[in-house]
């Protein structure tokens, strides 16, 4: 492809510049406010601080894998394996500590290393063998779900392993719940730490700038001398690490491993990232938008729980409608950007 062709076809990220790049995340924040204010208007105790805190308790593992997914989607890829890797990691925590008798800290280190190595491996396959990310990571979706069921097809309890009680211990407790206070467990602060590190990496490091550049136009990134291979493999390593960490956090949150847990978690993560304003084709988006997208998902489930007479599937129906709306919004903004440059 010639330099002239590259200049005639601007990178996707350049179509979302100036004020335009903030419109999707602004829409997400506005949606969050509408949902929250609607909940306050409809339900008497919806304004309790613990309701907001519970969003970060229940959705901490999803937030972690969604942050990893943000790196992948920003680079122009996709990772369908994160839900299965998360379930496999949780089951490995149970199997290696309960049945194999290994120490819990060692098991956690092994699980996190495994997740990172899986990401490195699948990223290398995608880049060097030019395999579509959808197909390559679909392998992981089936592989690790099958391996999880091979380890055990029933729940495995970790309640006797004291190490896994740490996640739900209260790092912060303000007042009493009944008098309007709130509490947050340790696993929520692990999720916060992941978000902060991801924000710094994406916006203040060379690797983060490379992620945006590769997602905007891989050919342009190559012409600029950026380490495209290292970046593409790196984002999948980040995603694999986050999926494994989410599995560890799920183990600490439930103190058990369910082989059928987190089915569809990869789709929830993708939806949260896109609703959070990240361009599905890569090159534009914010990790803080992903946080807002996860909170939208959490608020939908909370509203349905407060309603009491609705199926939990209505949250997925609403999420599907919102996902379609945000994809259409992205297309409208992209076409507007193309017209301004012609």
Domain with 173 in it: 14-340
Q: How confident is the model at residue 270 (pLDDT cuts 50, 70, 90)?
A: very high
Higher pLDDT, 317 or 194: 194
Whether 8 is in a domain gets the answer: no
Residue 8 has pLDDT above 70, yes or no: no
**Residue 207 included in any domain:** yes
Residue 333 inside a domain? The answer is: yes
Over the stretch 144-196, which tens digit does the pLDDT of each residue have? 999 999 998 888 888 888 898 888 887 655 555 444 567 888 899 999 999 99
| Domain count of the fold of the chain | 1
Say if residues 74 and 282 touch (Cβ distance below 8 Å).
yes
Query: pTM of the prediction?
Result: 0.90
**Residues, the chain:** 342
Q: Please determine, for residue 245, whether its predicted confidence score (pLDDT) is greater than 80.
A: yes
Q: Is residue 4 part of a domain?
A: no
CATH number for the domain including 258?
1.10.3470
**Alpha carbons 229 and 232: distance in angstroms, whole number:** 5
pLDDT band at 209 (very low <50, low <70, confident <90, very high): very high
Confirm whether 18 is domain-assigned. yes
What is the C-alpha to C-alpha distance for residues 284 and 173, in angstroms, rounded to an integer? 37
Distance CA 55, CA 46 (A): 12
Inside any domain, residue 258: yes
Sorting pLDDT into bands at 50, 70 and 90, what band is 311? confident
Does 62 map to a domain?
A: yes
9-23, 156-170, 212-226 — which is least confidently predicted? 9-23
Distance CA 283, CA 78 (A): 13
SS (H, E, C) the chain: CCHHHHHHCCCHHHHCCHHHHHHHHHHHHHHHHHHHHHHHHHCCCCCCHHHHHHHHHHCHHHHHHHHHHHHHHHCCCCCCCHHHHHHHHHHHHHHHHHHCCCCHHHHHHHHHHHHHHHHHHHHHHHHHCCCCHHHHHHHHHHHHHHHHHHHCCCCEECCCCHHHHHHHCEEEEECCHHHCCEEEEHHHHHHHHHHHHHHHHHHHCHHHHHHHHHHHCHHHHHHCCCCHHHHHHHHHHHHHHHHHHHHHHHHHHHCEECCCCCCCHHHHHHHHHHHCCCCCCCCCCCHHHHHHHHHHHHHHHHHHHHHCCCCCHHHHHHHHHHHHHHHHHHHHHHHHHHHHCC
pLDDT digits (tens, 9 = 90+) for 68-120: 999 999 999 999 999 999 999 999 999 999 888 899 999 999 999 999 999 99
Residue at 311 is within a domain: yes
């Amino acid at each position: 492809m010639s330099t002239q062709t590259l200049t005639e076809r601007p990178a996707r990220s350049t179509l979302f510049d100036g004020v335009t790049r903030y419109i999707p995340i602004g829409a997400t924040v506005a949606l969050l406010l509408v949902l929250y204010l609607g909940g306050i208007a409809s339900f008497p105790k919806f304004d309790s601080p613990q309701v907001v805190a519970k969003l970060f308790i229940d959705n901490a593992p999803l937030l972690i894998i969604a942050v990893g997914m943000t790196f992948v989607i920003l680079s122009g890829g996709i990772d369908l394996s994160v839900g299965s890797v998360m379930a496999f990691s949780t089951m490995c925590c149970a199997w290696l500590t309960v049945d194999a008798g290994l120490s819990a800290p060692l098991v956690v280190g092994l699980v996190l290393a495994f997740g990172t190595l899986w990401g490195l491996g699948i990223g290398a396959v995608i880049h060097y063998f030019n395999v579509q990310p959808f197909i390559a990571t679909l392998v992981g979706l089936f592989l690790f779900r099958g391996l999880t069921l091979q380890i055990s097809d029933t729940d495995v309890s970790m309640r006797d392993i004291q190490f896994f009680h740490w996640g739900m211990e209260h790092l912060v407790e303000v007042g009493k719940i009944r008098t309007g206070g709130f509490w947050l467990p340790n696993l929520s602060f692990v999720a916060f730490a992941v978000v902060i590190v991801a924000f710094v990496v994406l916006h203040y490091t060379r690797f983060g700038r490379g992620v945006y550049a590769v997602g905007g136009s891989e050919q342009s990134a190559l012409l600029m001398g950026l380490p495209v291979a290292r970046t593409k493999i790196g984002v999948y390593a980040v995603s694999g690490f986050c999926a494994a960490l989410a599995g560890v956090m799920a183990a600490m949150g439930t103190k058990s491993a369910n082989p059928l847990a987190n089915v569809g978690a990869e789709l929830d993560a993708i939806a949260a990232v896109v609703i959070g304003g990240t361009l599905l084709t890569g090159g534009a988006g914010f990790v803080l938008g992903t946080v807002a997208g996860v909170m939208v998902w959490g608020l939908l489930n909370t509203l349905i729980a407060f309603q009491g007479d609705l199926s939990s599937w209505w949250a997925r129906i609403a999420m599907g409608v919102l996902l379609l709306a945000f994809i259409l919004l992205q297309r409208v903004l992209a076409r507007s950007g193309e017209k301004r440059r012609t």
